[in-house]
Amino acid sequence: MSDTRNELGVGMIGYAFMGAAHSQAWRTAPAFFDLPLHPRMRAVCGRNEDAAGDVARRFGWESVETDWRALLTRDDIDVIDICSPGNTHAEIAIAALEAGKHVLCEKPLANTVAEAEAMSAAAAEASTHGVRAMVGFTYRRTPAVALARQLVASGRLGTIRHVRGQYLQDWLCDENVPMSWRLDKTVAGSGALGDIGAHIIDMAQFVTGTPITSVSGLLETFVPTRPVGGEPTALGGTAGADAERGPVTVDDAAAFTARFAGGAIGVFEATRFATGRKNALRLEINGSRGSLAFDFEDMNVLEFYDATEDPSTAGFRRIIVTEATHPYIAAWWPPGHGLGYEHGFTHQVVDLVNDIAKGADPTPSFADGLAVQRVLAAIEASASAGSVMTWEVPG
């Protein structure tokens, strides 16, 4: 630990959208939860010193670094929190683990399976020295999703047959939304597939408790060029219609079917072109004894159908997941006073800090991140083999 006062020094790399979400989590977690170690927000790191300094002032980071390697040499930093784009994850995470720092890494774990394998191996080795690694599939820690996992694990759904997963956003519908790093394959690895498809893959495997074993996929880029040099925001932005355009090198949308180890079949979509859908991360599961449905746009609710009930009164019930008995809720507000997007990030910090203090390996682990990466790669391989796999429908 960074000192004798039970503190855990944190250094965060990256300070944009995810950096803000993680910053609020490090700030908020010790205020609402009783933590065995107190996180100290020691340093935020970014190449643009002024911008990183601004984030430091707003969120309460104690210092600013402009080179991530400097964080790894600091004795007052125990945890490296990686919020930078995917092309940086492998190098930083492996170096941090080797330097004896615990690592929280944003999703998807990496841009390639090879990188994810190296990261997973580094995490396994680090674990033998008491150094922990976690990948940020934060939606697992939405209370309604955690409850869904509990219902499946306790057998309330019986044998799972169908999994329907969707992650629908619409921030790229306008063809003049400017280029940003999320649209550049060398930086982001893939488009909607890795950015948001990774979340539904992880969520489906987490809630069902079974891995995906095979997939068949389609990828599409609807708008192949976009204005360069506009003003990108976190998601979206503006540019003049006459601005010079550059190539989009990732998918705009992904669709795939899947088989699960337990025998279930799945149908999935991830898109940034679902007009009107802002952050509709949806999961529906049908089992022999019941079903459940979740939509992040109504994130405090889990729908549950219990097929063992008297059919004359059975029906989907709308569980408002804000009771003190529900996962994570006891630390927050009275029943009905719901939570938001940022709370999952706070719960992620809480679980990570507790696991570090207990000496336990957190979940989702880098091995879980690698499992998702393998599914993403299989979907890409299937999509690019489309001409072989596709049967034309006769006219």
> Which residue lies nearer to ligand SOE by CB, 106 or 117?
106
Tell me how far apart the alpha carbons of residues 28 and 313 are, in angstroms, rounded to a whole number.
43
> Which residue lies nearer to ligand SOE by CB, 87 or 169?
169
User: Taking the complex as a whole, how short is the minimal distance between the CB of residue 267 and ligand SOE, in angstroms?
Assistant: 21
DSSP assigned state of 371: H
Number of residues that bind ligand SOE (CB under 6 A): 5
> Which residue lies nearer to ligand SOE by CB, 148 or 188?
188
> Which residue lies nearer to ligand SOE by CB, 17 or 316?
17
Tell me how far apart the alpha carbons of residues 290 and 303 are, in angstroms, rounded to a whole number.
11
User: Taking the complex as a whole, how short is the minimal distance between the CB of residue 192 and ligand SOE, in angstroms?
Assistant: 8
φ/ψ bin of 281: left (φ > 0), alpha (ψ from -120 to 50), beta (otherwise): beta
CA torsion sign for 238, 244, 246, 252 is: positive
- For residue 165, give the H/E element and its range: strand 160-168
> Which residue lies nearer to ligand SOE by CB, 196 or 378?
196
User: Taking the complex as a whole, how short is the minimal distance between the CB of residue 312 and ligand SOE, in angstroms?
Assistant: 41
User: Taking the complex as a whole, how short is the minimal distance between the CB of residue 71 and ligand SOE, in angstroms?
Assistant: 23
User: Taking the complex as a whole, how short is the minimal distance between the CB of residue 122 and ligand SOE, in angstroms?
Assistant: 23
Q: How far is CA 163 from the centre of its chain?
A: 19
Q: Are 190 and 381 in contact (CB under 8 A)?
A: no
Using CB atoms, what's the residue nearest to ligand SOE? Answer: 195
> Which residue lies nearer to ligand SOE by CB, 90 or 270?
270
Does 250 contact ligand SOE by CB under 6 A?
Answer: no
Does 16 contact ligand SOE by CB under 6 A?
Answer: no
Q: Which two tokens stand for residue 19?
A: 């950096």
User: Taking the complex as a whole, how short is the minimal distance between the CB of residue 169 and ligand SOE, in angstroms?
Assistant: 6
Tell me how far apart the alpha carbons of residues 30 and 71 are, in angstroms, rounded to a whole number.
23
Tell me how far apart the alpha carbons of residues 119 and 265 are, in angstroms, rounded to a whole number.
30
Q: State phi, psi for 290 to the nearest 5 degrees.
A: 175, 180
Q: Which two tokens stand for residue 183?
A: 């649209």
User: 132 CB contacts (<8 Å, ≥6 apart)?
Assistant: 102, 103, 126, 352, 355, 356, 360, 361, 362
Does 195 contact ligand SOE by CB under 6 A?
Answer: yes
> Which residue lies nearer to ligand SOE by CB, 250 or 367?
250
User: Taking the complex as a whole, how short is the minimal distance between the CB of residue 170 and ligand SOE, in angstroms?
Assistant: 11
Does 99 contact ligand SOE by CB under 6 A?
Answer: no
Strand partners, 291: 286, 305
Q: Which two tokens stand for residue 210?
A: 């079974």
Does 235 contact ligand SOE by CB under 6 A?
Answer: yes
User: Taking the complex as a whole, how short is the minimal distance between the CB of residue 289 and ligand SOE, in angstroms?
Assistant: 31
Tell me how far apart the alpha carbons of residues 299 and 297 are, in angstroms, rounded to a whole number.
6
> Which residue lies nearer to ligand SOE by CB, 101 or 277?
277
Does 187 contact ligand SOE by CB under 6 A?
Answer: no
User: Taking the complex as a whole, how short is the minimal distance between the CB of residue 302 and ligand SOE, in angstroms?
Assistant: 19
Does 196 contact ligand SOE by CB under 6 A?
Answer: yes
Q: Which of 2, 169, 271, 322 binds ligand SOE (CB under 6 A)?
A: 169
> Which residue lies nearer to ligand SOE by CB, 166 or 169?
169
φ/ψ bin of 336: left (φ > 0), alpha (ψ from -120 to 50), beta (otherwise): left
User: Pairing state of beta strands 79-82 and 102-106?
Assistant: parallel
CA angle 277, 55, 132 (to 5 degrees): 80
> Which residue lies nearer to ligand SOE by CB, 169 or 346?
169
User: Taking the complex as a whole, how short is the minimal distance between the CB of residue 37 and ligand SOE, in angstroms?
Assistant: 26
Tell me how far apart the alpha carbons of residues 215 and 263 are, in angstroms, rounded to a whole number.
13
Segment 257-316, which members bind ligand SOE (CB under 6 A)? Answer: none
Tell me how far apart the alpha carbons of residues 69 and 71 are, in angstroms, rounded to a whole number.
5
- Applying CB under 6 A, the residues found at the interface with ligand SOE are 17, 169, 195-196, 235
